[in-house]
Structure 1
């Protein structure tokens, strides 16, 4: 067990014993990764906020009812809840997420980037934008594995468990996603420099 999961477990225990500040600390510790993974699926800031809140309502309900299974993997469990809420949303609405030009959320706001000069920042932003557009063009299963691996930073084992497929299937989806991205870069003659 890692120090990080032990710390989460301590925060959860403190919260379940009545310390509201412990839950706030747990939320602050993981909110960026959970919100980012939700947003990358739904591509809508308001919907992402709603699903993020719904995720933590479910987490609180599970804690308060004593149904939390303490395995030392709070983040993976919370991401699974958020993932399932996203899937449920799209099943109910049967629509594919789209990116609106007016979205004011940007993954780069959460990522920590070393201070660069203005030109380097512009080039990085343009590269990230191009990569995001390519990821959005991937089939759903491939897009999922890219988001979960690179934005939510899950291992392939965690991705396999979350999406209910084998590790080999998750690895295969990543491989095909990278092949498809390379193909699109070549076909569209996109420069990522």
Structure 2
């Protein structure tokens, strides 16, 4: 039975064990929910950390996400969409926490994102250019930063981003275009000021 794979809308594929954990979690099985969260802990940590650049804050966000998700898991209509659902919760909590703290985030640890060659189509760029790019992403408004991170750091499709952020695909495309324009402007100004 472990070999059975479920596919939903060509977006998500999960194995039977994960599906069983989701169904049991919906039925208030705490142990199944704990195991389900263990399966997704790396993804959740990366999503939180890439926004906050703070280990403790990221762990707090994951803890709050876990609590909110467990309290609301019965509202999950499609078990196969669990990852998108939990990511949406995490992103909303992260954005709210950043607003509360009014914290300017600066990239000071590149371990999580060091291997991502975003916007460069496999062309080689030097470390200074990468650092400029990461710092420029940090300067974007939160909604633009989130979409850039989801698209280029997490390789999500427009449809997946829309689902996760509860936005239409056209809104995601528009915001992505504006985010890239803002990013280009930041980078251009940075080079002119050097």
Contact 1:149 1:156 in 2 (8 A): yes
**Unaligned 5+ residue runs, structure 1?**
114-119
- Give 1:10 deviation, angstroms: 2.2
Q: TM-score normalized by structure 2?
A: 0.70
- The 3 A distance-change label for structure 1 pair 67 and 189 is closer
**Unaligned 5+ residue runs, structure 2?**
1-5, 118-123
The CA deviation string for residues 151-185 of structure 1, in whole angstroms up to 9 with x for no partner, is 33332123223334332221122122223333333
Partner residue of 1:53 out of 57, 63, 66: 63
The CA deviation string for residues 21-62 of structure 1, in whole angstroms up to 9 with x for no partner, is x54553343222221212222332211110111112222334
- Count of residues paired in the alignment: 175
The CA deviation string for residues 47-94 of structure 1, in whole angstroms up to 9 with x for no partner, is 11101111122223345xx44433411110000111121233244x26
- The 3 A distance-change label for structure 1 pair 95 and 69 is same
Correspondence 1:40 to 2:50: yes
- The 3 A distance-change label for structure 1 pair 179 and 62 is closer
Correspondence 1:108 to 2:113: yes
